A = this chain, B = another copy of it.
Amino acid sequence: MARIVMKFGGTSVADLDRIRNVAARVKREVAAGHEVAVVVSAMAGVTNQLVGWCQALSPLHDAREYDTVVATGEQVTSGLVAIALQEMGVEARSWQGWQIRLLTDGAHGKARIDRIEGAELIRRMGTGQVPVIAGFQGIGPDNRVTTLGRGGSDTSAVALAAALLADRCDIYTDVDGVYTTDPRIVAKARKLDKIAYEAMLELASVGAKVLQTRSVELAMKARVRVQVLSSFQDLPGTLVVDEDEIVEHAIVSGIAYSRDEAKVTVRRVPDRPGIAAAIFGPLAGAGVNVDMIVQNVSADGTTDMTFTLGRADLPRARKVLDDNHATIGFVEILDDPDVAKISVVGVGMRSHAGVANTMFRTLAEKGINIQVISTSEIKVSVLIGAEYTELAVRALHTAYGLDAG
């Protein structure tokens, strides 16, 4: 017998038939003798409608009222899933953040969870009752509803799994697990049985949208075993666990890519102490998130500074740089929105030399030019021309021995 948190996303509860399907899955776990808590998102499309109404009434709406409006989506689902479970003979009741008490900070619209009072839920699960918890929401210090920001239901689920001392947090979604790369690009992509928190975190941060980054961080910190699996198929998914649990590591777990990148080069800035701060300080102040940064070797007292950022931020970044021309002192700014970032991720890299070199050699063999490189302990990322994305991902998938069959 285990204690399990089951989390269902918006597409899994999109209509009444899917809600019944969710209830049937929960019933199966209960029938197997497990203690189960359920966390639900809003029905697909509902959150967008509610957000749209708030924005239409006031582009700068009060985040506290936004939370009041938007949190109703999950509240509706929690009640409907409880009804569906009861109809199948499973004892269930809905819980809102303020009832549990799932306490957050006061940052309405993007709150962080401070503390969860889990004792009453644990007691009820012990008697066979299934709590059906509205995800994505809590209660702030002002006694008002808070929301955790987009994708916050995954974070709710992981935080609840930690608070309820659950053995596992199952995240049901519209994909059936974590793959070695995007199966739409590489037909031979394989589903991973297990992946380490750190590798999952790097994959999530570079565009594998299976789990929200914050939820993986929290799972790693609280040592919550997370399983990603499909709510539409009846197959085991991918377990996201501590790397100690993974007996045999592949050196590389997966290849991720992101096409939402742009590259900016600030040409011929004075090569003096403080020049990086002069460039990146104003960008950070304007909320522009800079990713990879490369500073070329200095010549004649000037240097070139190249960095990448989300493509949507490009116009804002150019404006910030132009506004600060006097303090930075560049000659010109070049940008390129047609770039993609390709990342090779795996905790096995720590103990294996030559991983980066395999990447560089493979790309060279395909005639793909590398524009920028950045590395972390378990990840190597390169920036290439966007048109080479599929070619690069497929070649690397084969080079690291990830192809199925």
Contact = CB atoms under 8 A, between A and B. Distances in A.
B87 A143 contact: no
B76 A58 contact: no
A345 B327 CA distance: 83
Contacts of A54: 79-80, 83
Contact of A64 (B19, B56, B93): B93
Contacts of A265: none
Interface string A13-44: 00010011000000000000000000000000
A69 B83 CA distance: 10
Interface in A49-73: 50, 53-54, 56-58, 61-62, 64-66, 68-69, 72
Given A87-B57, A99-B144, A94 B80 contact: no
Contact of A50 (B65, B76, B78, B144): B76
Nearest to A62: B86
Contact of A80 (B53, B75, B79): B53
A50 to B, nearest CB: 7
Contacts of A211: none
Interface in A70-101: 72, 75-76, 78-80, 82-84, 86-87, 93-94, 96, 98-99
11 contacts: A16-B57, A20-B57, A53-B80, A57-B83, A57-B84, A57-B87, A62-B83, A64-B93, A68-B79, A69-B76, A99-B144
Given A58-B84, A65-B83, A65-B94, 14 more contacts: A16-B53, A53-B80, A57-B80, A57-B87, A58-B83, A61-B83, A62-B83, A62-B93, A66-B79, A68-B94, A69-B80, A72-B72, A98-B98, A99-B144
